[in-house]
Structure 1
Amino acid sequence: MFKKLLASVGIGAAKVDTQLDDAVLMPGQPFSATIVIQGGDVDQQISGLTLTLMTEVKTEVDDHTTYQHMPLESWSLSDTMTIEAGATYELPFHATLHPETPLTGIGGRRNRSRVWLQTGLEVDMAIDPSDKDMLLVEPVPAMQTLLDAMEQSGYRLQKVDVERGHLNGQGFSSVSGAYQELEFVPSGLSLFGVKEVEISFVPQGQQMHALIEVDRSFRGDSYRSLSWDASTPVATLMEQLKRAIG
């Protein structure tokens, strides 16, 4: 009985660990993992096993900026089962990363984005054992083409973060409820008064879209939409960016 009481507050209880097959992922990429459950000191009944793709979003509350955890996608993996004391269970898992998953593998310290997989065992009358695995998310080829085009056009990446909300561009809309904003600034003097350019990706199948916000010293903010795919050359995208930004 004493061990059961300890397990109910997390001491000597079952533990869960999600082990990804690939260390680096990309938005919209299929991935696989093994979920390892290690039984504790006593048998425990679980009512479910859930894997959730999480991010941290910036939002405004009463004129103050706050950061909140937000689920992007969730998968239910198991129904009721008994985790026997001392036993080890390995469950294979296969899924596809949400196409609007924020990028964490660009920008170095300038990137404030955080993405992780949170695995939880739903244990009756006990603290739910959970596991948190941070993800390294790199750009898909179409995103990388735009990043290269911006750099070769004379812009450097200054800041990256994730905000709560939806984006609507010309012929496209985001769906996850969060969007990543990549803030670029001119590397030198801008002839068109451009102070900064904020870009957000919105993938749709094989097509890549972006909503571009241009902040100018003398004309305020303006918005442009851009669409391309993985086969678009950097030089072509540079021309499109020149028309969009000026």
Structure 2
Amino acid sequence: MSFIKKTLASFGVGSARVDSILQQEFLVPGETVPVAIEVYGGATAQDIDTIELKLCCQYIDEEFENKEGDRHGRKRKVKRTFTLARWTLPNAFTIQPGEQRNFQAEIEVPWNTPVTISDAKVWLETGLDISMAVDPTDKDILTVRPDPLADGVLSALEEEGLRIRRVECEACDGFPMPFVQAFEFVPTTGPFHGRWRELEIITFRHGERLDIWFEIDRQKQGMTGLLSGLLGTGKLHRQLPIPADTAPDKAGKMVLEYLDACE
């Protein structure tokens, strides 16, 4: 191999590429999912130190526009990336030109992986660790559905005439992750139509329970901000814990009974 080809390969020119293939149509938090990884050789032989997989998502944060740190300046919304989980396949190998190598991995989808509704985005990044090179990376946008317990709650709200208007992952302190996912509903039919203007909920799954926080706007004066309540005190009066072993349909009924009593 010529000197120039070796040099170009060391900096990622004509290098290997990687593809990851999820073995099912969508992800569910708490489940383990098989992933097929395919590595294709480039123009030259290359040494691959490891294969790394990262499950990532996007959330909205706020920062002050004043670069000097004036905390009285205006805030602006910014999109940030968070790595939900990371896995490494420590298989060092050499990929030859035109060669294809196949690997299998399993990824455990963490609790509280955002449900991909509205603007929520979750993706899998698969990268090759090549010394001195720009790491070849495959990025796959994924579909995430709620786990059965959360699905029982969301389905029950929908069946009572509450329509999801907005879903957003927003920065929040006091949780293991730097954000929470908030669901905003409006009553269009059913028993809450005419009683409420809107409902906002935040869910957070622990190993042994699902915690749900609620804010209801009845007076048509606008929400005071469930998230700001979490940020300000870390506690809210309207909080409902649901044991993890609760049947999904029963969890939905618990939430409806709780909301019906919130007068």
TM-score (norm 2): 0.79
Identity, in percent, stands at 31
1:102 counterpart residue number: 114
Residues 51 and 74, structure 1, Cα contact 8 Å, conserved in 2: yes
Write out aligned runs for 1:199-218 (5 A). Answer: 199-205=201-207, 207-217=209-219
Q: 1:213 to 1:7 in 2, by over 3 A?
A: farther
Deviation of 1:125 after TM superposition, in Å, equals 1.3
CA contact (8 A) 1:166 1:179 kept: no
Aligned match of 1:230: 247
Correspondent of 2:34 among 21, 32, 35:
32
Are the aligned partners of 1:214 and 1:221 in contact in 2 as well (CA < 8 Å)?
Answer: no
User: Residue deviations 1:48-80, cap 9 Å, x none?
Assistant: 221011001100011100111211111111254
Q: Does 1:85 align with 2:97?
A: yes
Deviation for aligned residue 1:18:
0.7
The residue aligned with 2:160 is 153
Give the counterpart of 2:18 among 4, 16, 19: 16
Mapped partners of 2:249, 2:261: distance in 1: 16
Structure 1 position 232, deviation (Å): 4.3
- Aligned pair count reads 233
Distance 2:108 2:194 in 1: 43
Q: Which amino acid aligns with 1:117?
A: L
Segment drifting more, 119-128 vs 229-238: 229-238
Q: 231-240 or 71-80: which moved more? A: 231-240
Q: Note if 1:183 corresponds to 2:184.
A: yes
Q: CA deviation at 1:3?
A: 2.7
Deviations 1:81-139 (A, max 9, x none): 322222211111012101110001x4xxxx10000011111111111100001111111
Which digits, 9 at most, give the CA deviation of each residue in 1:2-56, with x for residues without a partner? 3334334543210011111111111111111111111111111223221011001
Q: Which amino acid aligns with 1:102?
A: P
Could you list the runs of 5+ residues in structure 1 that have no partner in the other structure?
168-173
1:117 to 113, 118, 124: 124
Of the structure 1 ranges 55-64 and 182-191, higher mean CA displacement relative to structure 2 is found in: 182-191
Quote the RMSD (CA, aligned, Å).
2.3
- Deviation readout 1:171-218 (Å, 9 max, x if unpaired): xxx4233321111123268555x4332212211235322122334535
Distance 1:90 1:116 in 2: 21
Which TM-score applies when normalising by structure 1?
A: 0.84
Q: Residues 33 and 221 from structure 1, CA distance in 2 versus in 1: closer, same or farther, beyond 3 angstroms? A: closer
- Quote how far apart the aligned CAs of 1:237 are: 2.9
Equivalence for 1:171: none
| Stretches of 4+ aligned residues off by more than 6 angstroms | none
**Is contact 2:153–2:248 with CA below 8 Å preserved after alignment?**
no
CA contact (8 A) 1:26 1:139 kept: yes
- Stretches of structure 2 that go unaligned for 5 or more consecutive residues are 65-74, 227-235
